[in-house]
Each structure stands twice: as structure tokens, then as C-alpha cells.
Structure 1
């Protein structure tokens, strides 16, 4: 053993053990997030519980979501007894006022709950899920029951979804585009008046455009009114919920419906992927506790891409200057120390700097110089996509500089001298030889920068991220990428849903699902950058040797 310790073999084993433990912890964490995130989309079995509330036997129907052990003291001075507490999602919030209910195992009449045969789950645009059984379906005065109810309900729900999507498309895209153009005309009028260029000809031109846009607006509004009237004719389905109460659900409020206890495995798998697709493509609902995360996903990807475009030239140019041009001395050493220290500054400090300098000083100056006619309404003097991207670029700048400089230092001096000997200028040597060979190191810096920027939340809360953005930062209206708009971010969405939600139990699965998506986006961006880096490394490997 002494000989084994002298050789240092124990350090090798300890290092390998720590690496193995780290791998297990990383994959264990990812596995837990993936499981708890994906189980949200799986159709849960609906159970029926018989609960003794002290006066009568109460019938509770819902999904078993969680359980915990609670210590109960039956007799003073005696040790406590462990009793299981069940968290049941009972839904029907418009009737009960809550979505979830805790039930003690002591209050259960039967130890095991019964599966609620033919129970139906209806997801609504508001008030959450409905749990119960079909009673009747009424459409234009005609009543359906039994198998006819199921067939007619499918047709009505499909028609309701079509009408809802069409109304949403008109109101958000078409009418939104017209409102944007009207706002631009208003700002153009203010600009002409501020520059003393307002005259009868300009007034007539803008009035003509407004008239045309208002005409289109009224036509679209008339279309939506027709669609709303069609929605009102869809009828409603009457449900029997726990306790024998009746609950009427208008068809226009139904997002989806299913009978989980009657599904086959193939049906459940199809429902699972259908739920994931809706989660990725729909907007949030009910204070972000339901619906999808499409705006947050688009906002995160857009911000990261703009940040990458901004931080790359800044970091590479700074590294090239310090490595290739700056003379070694106390000033350069102080700059390098400052860059390394900058990487350890808390991220919230960058957010405060971004708010103070980028938003108020730089954005305010831009408004005064170019958008003075729009004041006091700020254009760039308010948090938005551009300032969030710049703040994150500043936050990740030290990583890119250090990584690029390390890559430049590994390039043999002989290659530089050979280029100069062949008559190339210094800038040509850097452009044609040095930078191409340093690209793998630059990509490594970008990989780390993307991972850091995509996961940060604290600085973004101050410079552009909001709980719910009415418009996407990217759309079909020129200039297509709107740098002045506020946006949603997956990291902030996780924080908001997990810690600011009024319905914690309902939002908990969305926290895991959104976290899983954020991890997958970061991994996807990193894998793309790693693939490019490996190709560049293979391309310039021969030149290095």
C-alpha cells in the first residue's frame, strides 16, 4: 500500500471516482427533470375516492398527483403516527374554487381508490379542467345523449377550435399588423410636425392611408363578429361532477377532452406527443399556469442569437489586439486581470449597469437624437430586446476573450513568421492564418457564452424580459426583428411559474417541462457549435503539424 500511495495511484482513483460521481449526478438531475417534465403530458388515471368528512361520505373524483407523510399525535405523550396525505387534482375550479385538494388516508372509506369508469377530462381556456361524466349535449335546441353525444361533441369541438384559431389569427396577426401601421402613421405625423414639414399634401397622404387601414380594420372586425356569433351557436355539454352536481361547459371554451381510463397504450402515446406539440406551439394561459411556452421559446432563441452576433466581434477583436498588437507591460496585465475579475462579477450587477447605461443613457440619447418626435413615449429608452442582448453580450464577453486569447497563444510563432517572410502584411497573416486556426477556440468561447446567456435570469429582469409579452420580437412585419420590443424568456418563465404563480400545484409540472425545454435548447445550440468547432479543428489540424 505504501508503494501504491507513493506512485500516486490513489489520486488517479479519486479523480476517476469524482468524474464518475459528477456524471451520475448530472444525468440523474437531467433524468429527474425529464421524467417530471414529460409526465405532465401523459394522460393520468382518474380515480374516485370515498371520503368521510365527519357528517357524510363525500365522493371525490380526480387525478392523484402527489403524496406525503404527516405525523399525527393521537394521544398526548405518545409517539406520533405517520399518516399518508394525498394530493388530488379535482379541477372544476369554477365550482370548488380550487384545483387541488389534500385528503388524509384516515378519512378514506376504502384503502384503495376505485377507477372512475367512463370519467371525462375537459381542458378549458379558463377555470382549468373539468372532471365528471357526460350527461347531455345541447346544440341549437337539439339534445344528444349516449353515443350520439360523443360523435356530435367531436364535431362541435373541432369546429370550436377552428373558430378560436381563426379569431386569434385575425386579432393577433391581421388586426395587430393594422394597429402597428396606424401607430407608425401617427409617429410619422408627429415627426413631420416636429421638423416643420407638415403640409396639406402630407396631411392628405396620411389621411388616405389611415382611411384605407381603418377600412381594413372594420372589415376584419366584422369578420371576427361573425365568427363570435358562430361560436355562440356551438352549444354546451352538461356534465355530472362529483357529488352529483351538474356543470354546463360551453363548447367554445373547450381546448381538448379525453377519457384517460378508457385509453389504450397507443392512444396514450398519441395523446402524449399531441400534448407536447401543443406545449411548444401555444401561448400561455391562466397567469402562465396553463397552455404553452411558444413566446418564451422564441424570445430566448432570438436573444441568444443576437447576443452571439454582438459578443463575437467584440471578444475576438479585443483578444487579437491584446495578443497580437499590445505590448506586454503593467497596463496589459491590469487589463487581463480586470477581464478575469469581470467574469466573477454577479450577474445582477450587469443588469443594473445595462439598465443605467444602455437603457437610460444610451437608449435615452438615441430617443432624443432620432425619435424626439415620439417623446415622452420612449422607443429605445426603455428595456427591450436590444439592451437585453447587449447586457448578456457584456456578461459573456470575458469568456470569449479568454478563450480566443488562449487559442491565439497556441498557434506556433513560426507560422506567423513564415507568412511575413512570404510578403504578407501583419493584418493578412492574422486574417488568413492566425484567425482561421483559432476558430475552434473561438467556438469554445461561444459555446460557454451561449450556455451562460441562455440560463441567466437576474439581469434580464431589468433590461427587457416580461411576464407576458403581447407581441413576439420576431414577426412578418418589417423590419421583422423588433429590437425595441420586450420579450419573454424561458428562464424568467420558470422563475415566474415556480415562485410567483397563484396556483403552485398546477404550475409545478410546467416548471419541470419548461426547464427540460431550456436544457434541450442549450444542448442543441451547444451541439451545433461543437459540430462546427470539430470540423474546423479537423480542417486546420494538418496546418498545425
Structure 2
């Protein structure tokens, strides 16, 4: 036994077991987050509860069973609930998602099993997904065109609602394309003309001819805008033509414009295949749509785009700086106390709290560098800042500094593993030191460079605290990329999946509704990080195979 311990075999098994347990825990956590998040998009059964309150009044509640819990009878009695003397020691209560926010105080309600007289699963209950106020549960009663109800059977009502909803969605898509396209371009061009005019005025070069020319250009754009505005109002008028009448759980008929409806489905009539198709449809909308309702509804596409764009921009910035710094420290810097101090400083930088980098980025990049750029290049836009306010460029630079030590250390380790005989052989054959570096040393060290980049991307994609100071916002009106020159707008603020999780999970006015979105967004963020890492790992493996022959 003593010989076995001395051989080191137990420690190998213990290390392997610890790694296996850690891997299983990570995978289990990932699966749990994915299950809790992605199950939110499954069409849940909608129930109708017949209930009797304390006064003996009958009422109905329609909604999904969101959660259940077992409570002690004594706990309920102490809370002031009466009539439980003949009940068991424990009772079940349901958390019902009833929606219809504009007609009820809360869209989630706890219901004790003792007040429920009957529970139904009607086939014709419809769930309406709306642009605001969340879901609406009820029964389709009629479809109106210009306020006049159409004569249709129940089956025809569902078919007609689907048809008119698709027509309305097409009109809304045209309206959105017009606002983001031509109308957005006109507003952008008008602002450019205003800034050009003000710049000439500040330089003392604004003449009467220039003023006339600017006015003519602006007038042409305004005339085009008026024409497009007429078209826009026509789309909106057509979209508001149709409405649907829904009977809610109180028996009240609610007239709802179809323009406010995004989607509808009858979950209790769906087959398993239809539910699977609906799940994929809802998951796709979550990934591709914009957020709504203070980020508690809709999708997260702007946050996905902002996260990936910022991380890629950070990678483009940090890689050359980190590689050049590592090459200097390893290949050129003299072996003295100053070099040792620099290496110690680089290692210590990795331990600085990320919020400190955020404060540095806000003070140096945003206020000093960005403010100076505004003074030099964009004086006509002042006092409104262009680069002198938080934006995606400053976020990328801040995270580049944050992850720079990782890239430097990883690259230095890769350089140190390259045999000195290769350097000496290259120099002996007549190559210069710079040629040896860029043709032999750097290619061989490229897998280590990619390893540093992988670690940098993994850390940067999950950082939130510094980004809150230098660019990330709850809701960004536009993406950093659009069709207006220069197409890449690095001065704009952006959305981020990490901040979206924080905002929805801790700043949401409706915690119960937001909880599944926290899991779904967390799962998506981990997936994005894994995707970026896998892409970098594939590139690293390709480089490793490409330059493997040089090692021999």
C-alpha cells in the first residue's frame, strides 16, 4: 500500500475523479438552466377554474398553472384563512398565470385548493400574445371589420383570425421597414445637413449661397418625408381596420385591435407535433425579436448582436497589443529588474476588480479621449457628445485592457516552449531577427496566442460591471450597425446579454414573469460563449496542425 501511494497513482485517480465530478456538475447546471429556460416556450395547458370565495360568490379564473406548492394548514390558519378545520394537515395551492393585466391587479394569483369547486380544460380557450400588457386568455367571440362583426362559425373564427393576423403583420412589417429604411435615412441626412451647416458657421465659412443650398437639400428631403409619412399613415390605418372580440374569465367582451396582437394559439387543442412546432417557433422569436415590456417580453436579438459584436471588436483590439507586448518582453527586453517589475505588474493586473477597469474606461476613454475627439472632429455636434459618451468602442477598449494580461501571459508561455535551436538555425541561415520572429516563432506560437484569445473571450463575454459604466444600456434604440454611412457606428450604446440578465432578474417590476427569461437568457449567453470558444478552438487546432512540422 505504501509503495502504491508513493507511485502517485492515488493522486492521479483523485485528480481524475475531481475533474470528472466538476465536469458533471457543470454539465448538470447547464442542462438545468436550459430546461428551466427553454421549457418556458412550451405551450402549457390553460385551465378554467370554478371557485367560491369566502362570501359564497361564484367566480371563474382562466390561466396556466405556473407553480404549485404544499403549505401547512396551521400556517394558513395563522394567516387568517378560515374554514379549514375539517381539512388535512397540508393543503395544495396553485400559482396561476392569468394575464389580462389591464383588467386585473396582478397577472399571477395564488389559489388554494379549498376554494376550487371544479377545474376544466376547454378546447376553445385562446392565448393571445400582444405587443403590450402580456398574454390575454379567453374565448374568441367575433371578428370585426371597421366595427362590424362578421358572421362566422367557431372554426371559421379561428381561421379568419389567423388570416387577418398575417395580413396585419405584413402591414406592420412594411411600416417597420419604412421607419427603419427611407424615413430613418431622411432623418439621418437632415441631421447631417444641420451639422454641416453648423460647422461652417463655427468656422466662419457659412455664406448665403451655402445657406440656400442647405435649405434646398432639406426641403427636398422634407417633401420626400411627407410623401412617405402619408404612406406610413395609410399602413397604420389599414392595420387598425380589423379587431377581435374576446370573452374573458369574467364574461366581459373585450374588443382588441388585431394590430396589437402578435400571435395566437389554442394550446388545449394542439397535438404533440403541433406543440413541438410551436416551441421551435417561440424559441426562434426569442432569439430574433426585439425586447418589449421593460425586457420582460419579446426577444433578445439586440443583446445577442451587441454581445457578439463587442467581443469580436475586443478580440481585434487585444490580440495585436497582447502579442506585441509578449514578443517584446520575451524576445527583446533585457533580463533586468525593470523587466521583472513589468511582468509582475502584468500578472497583478489580472487580479484587479473589473469595476475598477470600468471606472478607468469611463474617466480615460470616455471623458478624456472621447471628449478630445469631440472637440477636434465633431465641434458642430456639441454640447451633444458623439464619442464623449459611453459606447461600444469604449466598452471594447476597456475589456481589451482587462483581458490583456491573459493574452500576454499565454503568448509568453507559447514563445518560451519554442526551442532556441530554431532561432539559432534561422539566424545561421541568414535570416534577420524580425524575419525569424514573423516567419517561424510567431506561427509556432499561434496556438498559444489563440489559447489566450479563448480565455480573453470567455472572460469578456461574461463581464457586466465595467460595461454598465462604459456603454451597455437597458434598451438601445438602434444597433451599432445599420445602412447609414459609415455603417459601423462605434459611438453608439448597445445591449448585452449579461446586463439583460441582471436587468430582468433584479430590476424587473414583474419578478414571476421575468424568472423564466432569466434562465433562457443565461442559457443563451453560455451558448454564445461556448460558440465563440469552439470557433477559436477550431482555429487553434488548425494552426497547431499546420505548424506541427516546424516543431520537428
Q: State the TM bucket, normalised to the shorter chain.
A: over 0.9
2:176, 2:42 → 1: CA distance? 27
Q: Could you list the per-position Cα deviations for residues 463-502 of structure 1 after superposition, in whole angstroms to 9, with x for gaps in the alignment?
A: 0111111111011111111011111111111111111111
1:35 maps onto 2:35 in alignment = yes
Residue 194 (structure 1) aligns with: 202
Q: How does 1:453-464 map to 2 (within 5 A)?
A: 453-464=460-471
Partner of 1:131: 137
| Cα drift, residue 13 of structure 1 | 2.5
Which residue does 1:476 correspond to in 2? 483
Name the residue aligned to 2:70. Answer: 69
Q: Equivalents in 2 of 1:417, 1:275: separation in Å?
A: 61
TM-score by length of 1: 0.96
2:110 corresponds to? 102
Measure, in 2, the Cα distance between the counterparts of 1:41 and 1:20.
Answer: 32
Does structure 2 retain, via aligned residues, the 8 Å contact 1:43–1:272? Answer: yes
1:359 counterpart = 2:360? no
Alpha-carbon deviation of 1:285?
0.7
- 1:433 corresponds, among 416, 437, 440, to 440
Asked whether the 8 Å contact 1:126–1:286 carries over to 2, the reply is yes
Is the Cα–Cα contact under 8 Å of residues 123 and 266 in structure 2 kept in the other structure?
A: no
In the alignment, what sits opposite 2:529? 522
Secondary structure of 2:102's counterpart equals helix
| CA distance in 2: counterparts of 1:9 and 1:309, whole angstroms | 44
Q: Counterparts of 2:257 and 2:394 in 1: how far apart (Å)?
A: 44
- SS for the counterpart of 2:48 is strand
Specify the SS of the correspondent of 1:312.
Answer: helix
Match of residue 410 from structure 1:
417
For residue 114 of structure 1, report the CA deviation from its aligned partner: 3.0
Gaps of at least 5 residues in structure 2 are: 79-84
Equivalent pair of 1:237/1:250 in contact (CA under 8 Å): yes
The structure 2 residue matched to 1:372, chosen from 372, 375, 379, is 379
**CA spacing shift, 1:109–1:9, aligned 2, 3 Å:** farther
Q: Residue 541 of structure 1 corresponds to which residue in structure 2?
A: 548
Residues 370 and 389 in structure 2, CA contact (< 8 A), matched pair in contact too: yes
Are 1:91 and 1:129, in contact at CA under 8 Å, matched by a contact in 2? yes
Aligned to 2:353: 346
Distance 1:144 1:327 in 2: 90
Pairwise mapping of residues 220-299 of structure 1 onto structure 2 (< 5 A)? 220-234=228-242, 236-299=243-306
Query: Contact 2:414/2:448 (CA < 8 Å) preserved in 1?
Result: yes
Q: 2-side partners of 1:2 and 1:503: how far apart? A: 62
Q: CA deviation at 1:204?
A: 2.6
CA-CA distance at 1:2 after TM superposition: 4.1
2:82 counterpart residue number: none
Partner-residue secondary structure (3-state), 1:68: strand
> How far apart, CA to CA, are the structure 1 residues paired with 2:5 and 2:541?
38
**Structure 2 residue aligned with 1:392:** 399
Q: Counterparts in 2 of 1:309-324, with a 5 A limit?
A: 309-324=316-331
Offset at residue 81 of structure 1 (A): 4.3
List gaps (5 residues or longer) in structure 1: none
Partner of 1:491: 498
Q: Supply the distance in 1 between the matched residues of 2:397 and 2:149 (Cα, whole angstroms).
A: 60
Matched, 1:183 2:227: no
The equivalent residue for 1:57 is 58
Partner of 1:213: 221
Tell me how far apart the structure 2 counterparts of residues 285 and 432 of structure 1 sit (CA, whole Å): 52
Deviations along 1:233-271, whole A, 9 cap, x unmatched? 12x211122132222221111100000110111211111
The SS at the match of 2:386 is coil
Equivalent residue number for residue 122 of structure 2? 116
CA distance in 1, matches of 2:440, 2:3: 49
Q: 1:3 Cα deviation (Å)?
A: 4.2
Q: What root-mean-square deviation, in Å, do the aligned CA atoms of Structure 1 and Structure 2 show?
A: 1.7
Q: Secondary structure at the match of 2:64?
A: strand
Match of 1:16, SS? helix
Q: Distance in 2 between matches of 1:157 and 1:231?
A: 9
Q: Secondary structure at the match of 2:526?
A: helix
Q: TM-score, normalised by structure 2?
A: 0.95
Distance 1:180 1:464 in 2: 22
Checking the alignment, whether the CA contact within 8 Å between 1:45 and 1:261 is kept in structure 2 is yes
Contact 1:138 1:144 in 2 (8 A): no
- CA 1:13–1:85 in structure 2 vs 1: closer, same or farther (change >3 Å)? farther
C-alpha displacement of 1:67: 2.3
Per the TM alignment, residue 72 of structure 1 is displaced from its structure 2 partner at its CA by 4.1
